[in-house]
Amino acid sequence: VFIGKEDFSMLNIITNKNDDVQEFNDSYFEFYTSMEKITEDDKRYIKDIDGSDFITADKIVTKFGETVLENISTGCKTMLNIVHHPEIIFSIVECGANVIDNIFELAKAEQSYTIYANRMILPSYFFLETPVMINGEKMNNTEEYVRWWEYGRD
C-alpha cells in the first residue's frame, strides 16, 4: 500500500488513445526536446538506457560508433520527452523494459505525469513502489494493478 505518497507523486496511465496522446516520440523529440538544454539527468538516462555517452549534441558515443542526439533510441527519446514535458501524454508502447524501469523511478521521484500504454507495464523487479492510477482508477497495490490488466480491461 502506498502510504503518504499520493499527495506528491503519481503515475497516471491511460489506455484509451485520444487526440491528446503524443505517439510520435521521435518527431516530438527532434522538434522540441532536442532543442532544449540537455541536463546531467538526461545524460544519465542516455547512458542507462542506450549505454551511450553524451559528449555534445553532435557527438554521442554509442556501441556502434559516434552519432548525433537525434539518433538515440526511440525509448530513450520517449524518456527524455516525458522528463522535459510532463504535461504531455506520451505513448510508451515502443519502450523496452529498460525504459519502463526509469519511468517508474521518475514517478517515485515526486513527480506526477500521465502516459499512454496498451499493455501492462511493470518494473523489472515486478513490484510497484509508485502510486498508479489507470484511467482514473487508483490501484492500491501490485496485485490489484496486475489484476486490472488481466481482467479489468474492456
Partner 1 sequence: MLGGGNMAEINIKKTMKHDRINIENRKTRIELQFKDSLTFVTGDSGTGKTYTFNRLQVASTIEKEYEDMVFYTTNGRVDVEKMAKIENDIKSNKNKFVIIDHADIILNKGAREFIGKDINNQYLIFGRNTDDLCYYPEQIVKIVTMQKDKPVIVFNWNNE
Q: Which is nearer to partner 1, 23 or 144 (CB)?
A: 23
Question: DSSP letter string over 106-117?
Answer: HHHTT--EEEE-
CA distances from 67 to 64, 71, 96, 138 (A): 9, 7, 21, 42
From the list 98, 111, 112, 142, which residue makes contact with partner 1 (rule: CB under 8 A)?
Answer: 98
Number of residues that bind partner 1 (CB under 8 A): 26
**CA diameter of the chain:** 47
The smaller minimum CB distance to partner 1, of residues 15 and 74, is found at 74
**Please, which of residues 103-142 interact with partner 1 by CB under 8 A?**
118-119
Applying the rule CB under 8 A, the residues between 37 and 96 that interact with partner 1 are 49-52, 63-65, 72-76, 78, 93-96
Residues 6+ apart with CB under 8 A from 47: 53, 54
Smallest separation, CB 72 to partner 1 (Å): 7
Rounded distance between C-alpha atoms, residue 33 and residue 13, angstroms: 22
In the complex, what is the shortest distance from the CB of residue 3 to partner 1, in angstroms, rounded to a whole number?
32
Work out whether strand 21-22 and strand 53-56 pair parallel, antiparallel, or are unpaired: unpaired
Among the candidate windows 1-9, 24-32, 104-112, 143-151, which touches partner 1 by CB under 8 A? 24-32
Q: How far is Cα 149 from Cα 58, in angstroms, rounded to an integer?
A: 41
Cβ at position 96, least distance to partner 1 in Å: 4
* Residue 1: all three cell numbers together: 500500500
Which parts of this chain interact with partner 1 (CB under 8 A)? 23-24, 26-27, 49-52, 63-65, 72-76, 78, 93-99, 118-119
